[in-house]
Amino acid sequence: MTFLYDYVHYAGCFALVLIGLYAVLVKTNLIKVIIGIGLIDTGVNLFLVTTGYIRAGTAPIFSEAAAQGETMVDPVPQALVLTAIVIGVSVLALALSLAIRLYRHYGTLDLRKIKELKW
Amino acid sequence: MRKLISLVVLLVIVTGIGVSLVVTPFGAEEAEWEPPSRRERVNFGRYYVHEGLEETGATNIVTSVVVGYRGLDTLGEVTVLFIAATGLAAVLHAAAKKPVGSDRKPASLVVFTGCRFLFPLILLFGTYVFVHGHLTPGGGFQGGAVVASAFLLVILGCRGRRLNEETLSLAESLSGLVFVVAGLIGLVVGGAFLLDFLPRGTPYLLFSAGIIPIIYIAIAFKVGSELGAIIDKLSGSPG
């Protein structure tokens, strides 16, 4: 039980990644596939932030009330994820624009009807 | 059949990741088990937390990592964002023949009035978030996203009102130029790209932390204008 309590946040990240992977592999609607890519993105970001977490830690921001550094969480994953979120948004927008072009060309978002795209 | 194969692939991935992560120690809590002499070499986060305030002058350690220690990395990330926005514009530009938005129904009076009331407030909040990026939670990326959400509100609430694309691209180019020129001045003055050539000032004050606020404001303008352009292009293309 303590094992589960210690690692439940990691389990949550992996559940998110796997749900997203399932959507990418199985779903045939292009919008749902893009939602799956977004879920994978979120899960990976959550995992990176979680690796830097210290139990009962505080945000890595100094303030005059409490200017101590011992209980602060790791700032490096937060800094990396900060940029990764914005880039994830722009990559999702790029995928959506490609979906718009596909819909305009084929008249459908069903991947089974778009030739040479899905097995 | 296809679902079965997908589930098998998923199971293989689950067992692979699970086994490799169970045996490998990782994360900030695991690094506490290292002897103290090795800890700062193993865990860079400890080093940044202990030395970041003195070395960069920013009280928000995440900001000092993003703009101070890893400024070149951030320049690359901003470039990735720019390339994604350019690709989206190129993909959507070829097919946009007739301008849409004129045939849509206008938004209701409540949405229209609320949009006009909230737009300056959201802009003000976004500006606060990115100007105080080195002191409080927030920064250029977050503030830029808040500003872009204000543009999204305008596009949703005031139909037919489009953003000025030339102004957006001008703001985006100028802010990117500010970032690179600030780095080049550091190269000329001190011999290192993105060197902090301004005085640190007193911590906890608005005018402190050297070039970090300047670069973060430039990043905020770049992110805000790029996300605004993305929203504008996506909403303006016929579905």
pLDDT in tens, B27-39: 666 656 656 666 5
- Does B168 reside within a domain? yes
pLDDT digits (tens, 9 = 90+) for B214-228: 888 999 999 899 888
Which residues from chain A sit within 8 angstroms of residue B48, using beta carbons? Answer: 60, 75-76
What pLDDT, on a 0 to 100 scale, did the predictor assign at position B104? 63
Contacts 24+ apart (CB under 8 A), B36-45: B43/A74, B44/A76, B45/A52, B45/A60, B45/A73, B45/A74, B45/A75, B45/A76, B45/A77
Residue A118 backbone phi and psi in degrees, to 5: -130, 145
How far apart are the CA of B107 and the nearest CA of chain A, in angstroms? 24
Cβ A87–B80 below 8 Å, yes or no?
yes
| Total tally of structural domains belonging to chain B | 1
Count chain A–chain B contacts defined by CB atoms under 8 A.
Answer: 145
Alpha-carbon separation of residue A45 from A16, A35, A109, A112 (angstroms): 10, 15, 28, 31
Domain assignment of residue B232, yes or no: yes
Contact residues, B window 53-72, toward A, CB-based 8 Å cutoff: 53, 59-62, 64-66, 70
> Do the domain assignments include residue B189?
yes
Probe site for chain A from B65, B136, B231 (most A CB atoms < 10 A): B65
Domain extent at residue B112 = 59-236
pLDDT tens, position by position, B2-27? 788 888 888 888 888 888 877 776 66
Say yes or no: B142 contacts chain A, CB-CB below 8 A: yes
The ipTM of this complex is: 0.79
> Where is mean pLDDT largest: A59-73, A104-118, B45-59, B79-93?
B79-93
- Say yes or no: B18 contacts chain A, CB-CB below 8 A: yes
Domain presence at residue B53: no
- Whole-number pLDDT of residue B239: 44
**B62 to A60: CB separation less than 8 angstroms, yes or no:** yes
What share of chain B in percent tops pLDDT 70? 84
Separation in Å, CA of B21 to nearest CA in chain A: 10
What's the confidence (pLDDT) of residue B138? 82
Statement: residue B134 has pLDDT above 50? yes
* Cross-chain residue pair B66–A83, CB shorter than 8 Å: yes
Give domain status of residue B158, yes or no: yes
pTM for the whole thing?
A: 0.81
Query: What is the distance of C-alpha B78 from the center of its chain?
Result: 8
Closest chain A residue to B13 measured between Cα atoms?
Answer: A18
Tell me if B163 is assigned to some domain.
yes
Domains and CATH numbers, chain A: 2-57+73-106 (1.10.287)
Cβ distance of B84 and A87 shorter than 8 Å: yes
The whole-number pLDDT of residue A38 equals 93
* Residue B27 forms part of a structural domain: no
- Residue A76 is predicted with a pLDDT of 84
C-alpha gyration radius of chain A: 19
Is the CB of A69 less than 8 angstroms away from the CB of B234?
A: no
pLDDT confidence of residue A40: 93
Is the predicted pLDDT of residue B121 greater than 90, yes or no? yes
CB A32 within 8 A of CB A48: no
Q: For residue B222, which of B75, B91, B87 has the smallest C-alpha distance?
A: B75
For chain A, residues with pLDDT lower than 50 are: none
Is residue B101 a part of any domain in this protein? yes
**Secondary structure of chain B as H, E, C letters:** CHHHHHHHHHHHHHHHHHHHHHHCCCCHHHHCCCCHHHHHHHCHHHHHHHHHHHHHCCCEHHHHHHHHHCHHHHHHHHHHHHHHHHHHHHHHHCCCCCCCCCCCCCCCHHHHHHHHHHHHHHHHHHHHHHHCCCCCCCCHHHHHHHHHHHHHHHHHHCCCCCCCHHHHHHHHHHHHHHHHHHHHHHHHHHCCCCCCCCCCCCCCCCCCCCCHHHHHHHHHHHHHHHHHHHHHHHHHCCC
In 3D space, the residue among B7, B40, B132 whose CA is nearest the CA of residue A21 turns out to be B7
- Partner A contacted by B134 (CB < 8 A): no
